[in-house]
Structure 1
Amino acid sequence: MNKITLTIVLFTKLIVAQNYTEYATGSSVDAETNHEFGICLMGGASENDDAMVWFLNKANGGDVVVLRASGSDGYNDYFFTDLGVTLNSVTTFVIDNEAGATDSYVLQKVANAEAIWFAGGDQFDYVSYFKDNAMEDVLNNFINTKGGVIGGTSAGMAILGGGYFSAENGTVTNAQALSNPYHSRMTLGYNDFLDIPFLENVITDTHYDDPDRRGRHAAFLARYATDNNSRAFGIACNEYTAVCIDDSGRAYVYGEYPDYPEFAFFLQSNCVANFMPENCIDGQPLTWNHTGEAIKVAKIPGLYSAENYIDLTDWSNSQGVIWEDWSVNNGSFSNTSSTNPNCDLLSISENDTIGFFVSPNPFSNTITIASQLTNYDIIIYDSFGKQVAQFQNQSQVDTSNLSSGLYFLNVSSEKLDETFKLLKN
């Protein structure tokens, strides 16, 4: 081999090597286990060990992949040895660009994992490297088909919501977001990246020890509501707090309260017909007030035992919650104490009826509708009020195309109009 050819070969290997760096701990042989679905959201400082044990146990002795765009192998020994959870392997990939994210070897390791963790850093790196390519496809297949456990901290938590702050133009301050919700740094994405159950209309935020984060988070939700004509939701954590969501949608909060002021926050647009911001316009201060009740917030202390929770199928059923009302008036953020809104997401009542009998609940792929009536319409809505299916005069309704979660089934005729709250496994 001559010097020119050798130089070309070495240069090519260097380019490939620069796309990602791998750190591997444990077995190099893939393990297949009876893993479980789950979501772990971490506030951005050092990890809560109890929450991380919850996360790793979902892998059931399988393989963990850590994805990051900076740093090195800090998670490998922590996951594999320090927490006392038996794992087959921990592999960290430090991804340098989209080519590294879509490398066939990296994609296969991600697909084979039972648990995937996103480290902190710059969330726009993750959006740039992982979105609209093969990595996005592999991640969504891992979540929704394989049913693995996924989580992240700081920037890694920021990308997990259906809505997300991309930080494409850098971070945005409280003052910038509230004075102009369409500021050039208010770069948001909507339901076009990761598709994670229970987080579809949610924008996450971290480092909530800084009270200014709350104002800009309110602005994120105002933008989501305005741009999508839909109620908006948010989940946020103080830095040493974690939220762990199981396959039923129940979100438990880990922390060291009352020793430390560690809380998670669950935000939702008020469940009223007129929930939209009064003024969310480019170049003008945000007003989202509605007599001080624009956003209903469940502030949940994180306990060592994680006994406190909120159910994300209805954003109301909960334990240990401190309820607050948040609002913004002409760019000024405020919050006051409140009570559980007991929101019914479609403002309907659950009534027994002799006209229609709907079963089973929970359901899998088929819903049975029994009635003495022969002419009726059937409409299915998701938990955010969006119509997802429509039928007429059917006693067996096929729902195989619907993902797991909470749904509302409305059956109506000339004489009866009933709505049923149903959960799909």
Structure 2
Amino acid sequence: MMKKITALFVFLVQVVGAQNYTEYATGSTVDVTTNHEFGICMMGGASENDNAMIWFLNRADGGDVVVLRASGSDGYNDYFYSDLGVTINSVTTFVIQNEAGATDPYVLQKVANAEAIWFAGGDQFDYVSFFKDNAMEDTLNAFINTKQGVIGGTSAGMAILGSAYFSAENGTVTNAQALSNPYHNRMTLGYNDFLEIPFLEHVITDSHYDDPDRSARHATFLARYATDNNTRAFGIACNEYTAVCINELGRAYVYGEYPDYPEFAFFLQSNCVDDFLPETCVEGQPLTWNHSGEAIKVAKIPGLYSAENYIDLTDWSNSQGVIWEDWSVVNGTFANANSTNPNCDLLSVSETEMIFMSISPNPFQDTISIESQLHDFNVIIYDSFGKQVAKFQNQFEIDTTNLSSGLYFFSVFSEDFKETFKLIKP
């Protein structure tokens, strides 16, 4: 850890390049390298939950924070730098006005050098327009997956964090519009073409869930994703004063002030059945996604001051403090009901108790050892996005030196056996 520097503390406002961006800088002008940690923090869109923001800043380990926004000014600078009691090196806010501002070499370097990146609220289509399919997208994904810094956002800044997203290109969409026609011209969705954040694959986020005009449209987002991609869909949403913080192991903790206030986060998933697709999801017709009232399994989690309640995003089932619900839609009418933990396995792994199988160590470094009575088996390694990165046959010692740090799923299978192991490479 390199923190022994002579710091120069400044507050700088800089307007650059015919209003391409405005910079607000607080703290040291000297970059530092710290033992930062990966994490994801998502806020529901009102004033920030201080405990969640402290969690976010602590992941930076005294490093540099960059705030990206398309409107507003320096509201986060003092809040992050001095109000929360967490020592950090600097806070730099960039108010980006266009793609030229987002791809300015100076801005890109600041983003690359940061240990924490926060997306403010506003209009998410500005972020899609300014940050996607250019050098900023590349820099953000390198920050997330190579540098493994902590990233987060609120409202519109939360909306862009899933691998799928509502772009709001044609403005917002209401429950009624979405339910009456899942392909309404305001149902503008992007799929797997922007940010690549571990644990948020196949996930569409939403915020401001206190607004009753949110949950049904969010269900429709999932129906569209499942239909258009022929795969199970997932969602994460927050009430306005609630935050979800996801650590490097994929455990999502919920911050809020429950029971003093009704503050919840919601974790949506297509029911884990073979026939999970909506019954009717076509242009010009009302949505029906029913499956006997169990189309979508929802974990409604109260946000506590201590954030003790959680759900594990590696299986979307292991959890604490969850209120389970079933959501469904019939001919454009949304309904919900109490339910139970579906015990869904994201990777659809079948477990066989009669066959012994062990993989160690965990965490691992350069070698993985397999112990089993099986002699004819295959091993496929997937990264946290579900992408296959390696395949082996009948190997009890596997060289993992080429794997970068991160979460991996080791799928071991034969004709009559299949089991998946979750391992971490620090």
TM-score normalised by structure 2 residue count: 0.91
Unaligned runs of 5+ in 1: 1-12
Greater CA deviation, 26-35 or 90-99? 26-35
Name 1:327's counterpart in structure 2.
Answer: 328
Name 1:297's counterpart in structure 2.
Answer: 298
The answer to whether the Cα contact below 8 Å between 1:358 and 1:369 also exists between their aligned partners in 2 is: yes
Name 1:107's counterpart in structure 2.
Answer: 108
Distance 1:57 1:378, change over 3 A: closer
Distance, in Å, in 1 between the alignment partners of 2:304 and 2:170 is 36
Distance, in Å, in 2 between the alignment partners of 1:15 and 1:83 is 30
CA radius of gyration, larger in: 1
The letter for the 2-side match of 1:285 is: P
Name 2:6's counterpart in structure 1.
Answer: none
Name 1:267's counterpart in structure 2.
Answer: 268
Distance, in Å, in 2 between the alignment partners of 1:385 and 1:76 is 37
Q: Does 1:409 align with 2:411?
A: yes
Name 1:158's counterpart in structure 2.
Answer: 159
Distance 1:402 1:113, change over 3 A: closer
The answer to whether the Cα contact below 8 Å between 2:199 and 2:250 also exists between their aligned partners in 1 is: yes
Task: List per-residue Cα deviations over 1:250-293 (Å, max 9, x = no partner).
Answer: 11111111111100000011111111111111111111110000
The answer to whether the Cα contact below 8 Å between 2:379 and 2:410 also exists between their aligned partners in 1 is: no
Task: List per-residue Cα deviations over 1:188-240 (Å, max 9, x = no partner).
Answer: 11111111111111100000001220000000001111111111110000000
Distance, in Å, in 1 between the alignment partners of 2:385 and 2:106 is 38
Instruction: State how many pairs are aligned.
Output: 411
The answer to whether the Cα contact below 8 Å between 2:15 and 2:22 also exists between their aligned partners in 1 is: no
Question: Could you say what secondary structure the match of 1:315 adopts?
Answer: coil
Name 2:140's counterpart in structure 1.
Answer: 139
The letter for the 2-side match of 1:423 is: L
Distance, in Å, in 1 between the alignment partners of 2:145 and 2:37 is 12
Question: Could you say what secondary structure the match of 2:217 adopts?
Answer: helix
Name 1:420's counterpart in structure 2.
Answer: 420
Cα offset for 1:387? 5.8
The answer to whether the Cα contact below 8 Å between 1:268 and 1:295 also exists between their aligned partners in 2 is: yes
Cα offset for 1:107? 0.5
Name 2:237's counterpart in structure 1.
Answer: 236
Cα offset for 1:419? 1.8
Question: Could you say what secondary structure the match of 2:94 adopts?
Answer: strand
Cα offset for 1:422? 2.6
Cα offset for 1:357? 4.5
Name 2:126's counterpart in structure 1.
Answer: 125
Distance, in Å, in 2 between the alignment partners of 1:355 and 1:308 is 33
The letter for the 2-side match of 1:249 is: G
Unaligned runs of 5+ in 2: 1-13
Query: Which residues of 2 match residues 202-241 of structure 1 at below 5 A?
Result: 202-241=203-242
The letter for the 2-side match of 1:126 is: Y
The letter for the 2-side match of 1:418 is: K
Name 1:5's counterpart in structure 2.
Answer: none
Distance, in Å, in 1 between the alignment partners of 2:62 and 2:76 is 16
Question: Could you say what secondary structure the match of 2:214 adopts?
Answer: helix
CA RMSD between the two structures = 2.2
Query: Which residues of 2 match residues 247-286 of structure 1 at below 5 A?
Result: 247-286=248-287
Cα offset for 1:15? 7.5
The answer to whether the Cα contact below 8 Å between 2:198 and 2:385 also exists between their aligned partners in 1 is: no
Cα offset for 1:351? 3.1
Task: List per-residue Cα deviations over 1:24-82 (Å, max 9, x = no partner).
Answer: 11111112111111110000011111111111111111111100000001111111111
Q: Does 1:167 align with 2:150?
A: no
Question: Could you say what secondary structure the match of 1:58 adopts?
Answer: helix
Give the fraction of aligned pairs with identical amino acids, expressed as a percent.
79
Distance 1:354 1:328, change over 3 A: closer
Cα offset for 1:377? 3.4
